[in-house]
Structure 1
Amino acid sequence: MQGTYTVVAQKASGRTIRHPFSVEEYVLPKFEVTVKMPKVITILDEKLKVTVCGLYTFGKPVPGLVSFRVCRKFEHAATTCYGEEAKAVCDEFSGQTDNNGCISEMVKTKLFQLKRSGYENKLRVEAKIKEEETGVELTGTSFSEITTTISKITFEHSDSYYKPGIPFFGQVKLVDGSGAPIVNEIVRISFQGGEQNNYTTNEEGRARFALNTSMFFFDSVGIQATHKARRYCYDRNWVVPRHEEGYLQLKRFYSPSNSFLKIEPKPETLSCGFSTEVRVHYILTPEATEEKKKIAFYYLVMAKGIIKRAGTHILDLDQESANGVFLLQLPVQADIAPVAEVLVYTTAPSRQVIADSTKFNVEKCFSNKVDLSFSPSEGLPSSDAHLLFRASPNSLCAVRAVDKSVLLMKPEADLSPSSVYNLLPGKGLHDYPYSPDILSEESLENCIPLKKIVLNGITYSPVVEMDEDDTYSILKKMGLKVFTNTKVRKPQYCSTGIYVPAAARLESAPLSSGGRMSAMRTGGLQADRLHATLSTPEEVTETVRKYFPETWIWSLVSISSDGNADLNVTIPDTITEWKANAFCTSADTGFGLSPTVSLRAFQPFFVELTMPYSVVRGESFMLKATVFNYLTACIRISMTLAQSAHFLAAPVEKDEESHCLCENGRKTVAWLVTPRSLGQVEFLVSTEALQNQQPCGNAIVETPEKGRKDTVIRQLLVEPEGVEKETTQNFVLCVKGVPVKEKFSLLLPSNVVQDSGRAYFSVLGDIMGTAMQNLHQLLQMPFGCGEQNMVLFAPNIYVLDYLNKTEQLSEEVKSKAIGYLVSGYQRQLNYKHPDGSYSTFGLRYGQPGNTWLTAFVLKSFAQARRYIFIDEKHIQDALVWLSYKQKENGCFHSSGTLLNNVMKGGVDNEVSLTAYITIALLEIPLPVTHSVVRNALFCLETAADEKENHVYTKALMAYTFALAGKEEKRKALLSSLEKEAVKKDGSVHWQR
């Protein structure tokens, strides 16, 4: 059935993930239309190259007529009164595709006034290709962004601080407006109060630099990178080209001994499966090392918020300089992807912690290495092939292979390493979690008072840099908690003359736990495709192709203990490219994902049919058959449509015995077809390369020794004429030890279209079967006003009752439904009045309690007592309030209003309201002898004798008397309802 469906998957946490898909009528596209043009152009570009190409799914070019429009829309389009020219400025082009299936044009941009404002900053292209002979037309679109940025320079992988004496390593990247690197261009790097140096960009548009910081004495240093000077122009009607500069502000890093570490950054992404060298620069002063000659450096690697690696490097100062570089080896594996943070630190004898950290981008890879390949990668339809897997031993893999045409028609987002990594819950730590309940850390060191000096009558205040980074800031940025008695912080300066030691301030603070953190100590840490070549196929006398699936492979494959699997498959009959990918899971190595691989199903001589999705019987349509020749010689072919009793067919043009077809040529033959039968009608078309000596113009005809013949059998849906009408019959069969039979009337109307009548049936062993298949629609969290809340509250009770009595209630469903009941119960109390009644919005809006809603709440709360705690007072309050609404004759008086009267169903008068309330009271249950129930039954018994009662009121009273045990009244009302029933075509219903 056509429509939109949703696949719902539920996690163990109860959270659901939904993915929609649609079922609709369609004809798969035979070819793809692509528009190639720059993603970005600048306002200085005078020309723009646009290329439109058509390519069949089997990889061959499409011959046909191309037409495309290039448009630039106005920012504020005029009304339709002024025509299309008021919406956009456009230029049109057309032409025939070349041998590659493409057409290219150099579009001049002058028409589009790129330097003028008031237009969209986009050039849009809409292209169409009309296939030669068949007339099939498909479209493609693309666009180019228009930018004023001619060049842009940015700093990459640069720290926000410098360490005096250690070179500051930085990198800039120069790109044009489209983001493409600008190579062999000079960029100027200058810093505040210092010199200016020129650097030349490499083939990636990057230039690396190192600044000597030994002469930096500033608290902060600004670094500027420029390419070309700015132009200071402005006019509201025009835009000007821009050369964007880069700027980086550096702060000095605090170290009491002027000892530093610096991990040299790597701008490139590290590849999995290899080891990389990490260069660590260091400066160790005698103030830090004192007399110690062997210094232990500790390092750890964090990824996804977890410490993954740790190790130690010993530096012998008797053999090494106190100012130099040492190397660390970092094995790059999936466990540290996608970003690895490396921390290197040492604790000097002076109790100072010297540290540095940096981030390395790591390829998004997986521990379970999955490889997928077809052998061969190209094959004939109906021939055998192998789908080869390589993954971790004993993995379970899910694989799919679909026709490329399906992906062209409606592209789906495939799984990729990036999309999988984005689903991971832990993406890394940054800083400490913030919450009012979490105590912020304060230094345990006493602050240093800032004393002013008076000299010659002038007061001098000390100048202190308050914004320097220190070791503590490095650890904090990584989310690492430190337990140490060493020096990781810079001194804290007192803001006033009076200060309180931090220990005293912490003494009375409450203890609280925060978010997720990793911990370290300042001592040592210990870390816990197969290829095949396609051989020349043997000559085939005839191929008959009739299997054309859209999804070819969709299965689970188990990997053997040696890490391999071989799936034997038969290539379907479609001439196309098949796209396959797989993911695997393993208990040892976890998840793995393969790249997408392709198999090309192809033969050099074949016929393809062009037909609609469906046709109407008796209405003629054009059936077109196109023969393709990708042999290296000219051939003579014949084409025939097999006759059938299910349709009439006649050639559109004069029927020729044979047609000449040379290399890369094609020939289309059409028939006018009139279907005579309904359902799936088969069309069999054959083409054969003839053993014929008749030449093809000046070309020599090659006659195959055995001849080549290709036959295609396709089905077409033929629908009946007229207007479709459908009726439904439902029956409940109650089996009590013996078989039960039920007859259905399949009588068709006299004006039914011949052969169009059809019937289908379904049998469910549960009268609530269809509802139970959609439990997520019945079990819902109550929300909204007093009415909406109860409408969602009550079904949870009914579902629990039904599943419990039919022994189908699972703990998972029970837990969810009870949770919803508790929430709905608490919410409904917000709409309770002090007098015990309920209204749509509660007391705050000044509305009186509503009689029907109060009875509904009373009934539902009483029924919910079986599953959750309900305070008996709320039930008694509602009962007392309703009793005050009872008149002397036993009937109930209507009070208040409902926002949505549909909720009441047929309760629209005093008698039906009394019946509804009485049902609620009896289901609490109250005994028949209770004064309120007894009086209400008196009202209903009096009303039951009246003839003008509505059928819905009679139904309510019949149910009420059944609950009260008054059989005579119940039988009389049911008999009356039986007489008023409308019985037609095997069904029974009542009319209001």
Structure 2
Amino acid sequence: MFDDFEAKESISIASSSNQPLVTIHKYFPETWIWDLVSVSQSGALTISKTVPDSITKWQAGSFCTSPVGFGLAPKTTLKAFQPFFVTLTVPNNVILGEVFTLKATVFNYLHSCIVVKVTLANSQKFSANKCNGCQYTKCLCADDSRTFSWTITPLVLGEVSISVTAEAVQSLNLCGKRPVTVPQKGRIDSVIKKLQVLAEGTKQFKSYNELLCPSDVVEKTVSLTLPKNVVDGSAKASVSVLGDLMGRALQNLASLLAMPYGSGEQNMLRFAPNIFILQYLESTNQLTPQIRSTALTYLVSGYQRELTYKHNDASYSAYGMDDASGNTWLTAFVMKSFGHARRYIFIDQVFVNQAKAWLGHRQQRNGCFASVGQLFHTSMKGGVNDEVTLSAYIIAAMLELNYTITDPVVKKGLSCLRNTYTQVNATYAKALLFYTFTLAGDQAMRNTLISQLNAKAIFSGGGRYWSRVNNGSVTDSLEVEITSYVLLALMSGPQLSGFGLGYSSSIVRWLSQQQNAFGGFFSTQDTVVALQALAKYSLATYSPAGGVNVTITSPSGVITTFTINQSNRLQYQKSKLQEVPGDYNVKAKGKGCVYVQFTLRYNIPPPPDRSSFIISASASGICRVPNQPLEVTITVKYNGQRLETNMVIIDVKPLSGFRVDTTSVQLVNSNSNSKNGVVKRVDQIGCNAVIYLNKLRKGEEKVYTLTIPQRAPVEKLKPAVVKVYDYYETREKAATEYTFPCPVL
């Protein structure tokens, strides 16, 4: 493997004998070679590779394995050289309306002087102004460098390519007293950098989902609407069609949520759904080698990462050994997921056995399980008796792994649930109990619980769902999870009288309407349970026969057509929409089911909603000194209905031209006796700092600081956004902006 210290991979463009060779840099790898090769019995192998032709120092190492042992080679180094090259200083992203200085620095590694002409390629996506008095053809002598600059104003949103070319040109003039030479090779060097131009405000995603199952023709009208305060030019829309409910999740196995994955539970979102998808595709003979390879890759990486959250006593918690103890609920989640995954990848059975044994030691005399460790997913408490809900989850996990009802731990747990279920009023707890007794084969309890649940079902838009409140005024992660458990229970046992596939299909219709643009739902656990339930429903209703033609008609009459059949039912078919807002007609003709999703993306200024969180942010620093870092101060208070939150995320975007220093995050008003608001972890995702807090108590104000060093100067700076939200109650959120503290950069 080669580690890249300064490297830029380049492409050499062959030319005629009359034209110089042009080297274009446009790829910046962190590693160059990472290959697995077989060596013959001779013990020698020659491999040819094209070296990126920039001034680069590479370090290489290799190891080998064989039936007789393991070998490790000493490291070696390689230097790549070219006569001169150009580098660009460009911000990672800017906001439309901001202006920045593009700097191109040319280095000369020849022993003679050259005259360099530097050219910025024209583009309709930005305007460029030369600096006053600047010259773009200059002498450059040995081991010297020159910097050339332009003022760039982006004109459009999205990705913008910036291309700069440096050429060694002939000149009759001297460079000082030294003659000018032109290298025979490498006379021209070009570099291309990608710049992301973003819209102001906070990004919003809105999905309009329709599950259409025509026996002949079905028509629907979908209205795409934008809020009044939408940022001009930020709205983008698309429509996609799939012939399989699992197809959208399958397209986004790496990122089912637009949310971070920094804890032991969130990591399992990259692990568990792969199992359900593999089981479904395998059972329906739709599993291709490519899909299997992708899914197994995520299973292996998820398995290895999850072990980093393991405690010495075989339990698991959100932040591993950084937490005081393992968590009962997460340990059960890991146990069942590892047990299911053993069918597809190597997982040491000892980890499953040890987790079950640890859970067994948490079982009390009455058969219920004690809640140990911090529970970030507080909705698991399920009403007045959280032991019942937690115990139902653990017993269901063991029954999924084929531990029988005669297993001592399972037997005692079921006894606990039968003796205490009458004390439970929460709909969430009843849905989970319904699933647990389904796996246990207890038909009497199934009938009792489905009757109680059916009485609380809510109908909306042809779909059926359950809510934490009887009027259905709340729709969030918990509602998806409750509804998914009901569907999972119906699909995991013998059909109950009056609750056949027709009843289940109405649940699926509602669930499909909640799915986000990435294939997930609101948060972590609702996505895992919903995909498990949908996979079981899809398997029960799968039919290879039939085909459907879908026609999308725009407000102006533009027609887009999709054809779904058995050969492409898993294929993700997508088309951009040009008319937003507007009413689109959807017509499905044929026999079978198709899943149609309209996705709308746009930006709005940070909403003033302060019903759940109150957040403010400001930046400070020394304005008179260039390139000085700024300190961002963030004040957060929870103002919602609960006594305390679940895990809280603070997402901090740096100002354009700045970067976040994740090591600098501090809670500055910490009370040593309080663990509320403690920073558990800080990640950098993209350009943003993502701060994980264990929880916030109602009315308690917390103040955090972090440093943002400057990378590249940007003028006319727009405000940067800071968001805060409850990871499991995503409707509880707030956002604010902070600005550059000085009037002039």
TM-score tier, shorter chain, comes to 0.3 to 0.5
Would you tell me which structure has more helix in proportion to its own residues? 2
Provide the TM-score with structure 2 as the length reference.
0.43
Q: Which has the higher contact order (CA 8 A, sep 6+)?
A: 2
Larger radius of gyration: 1
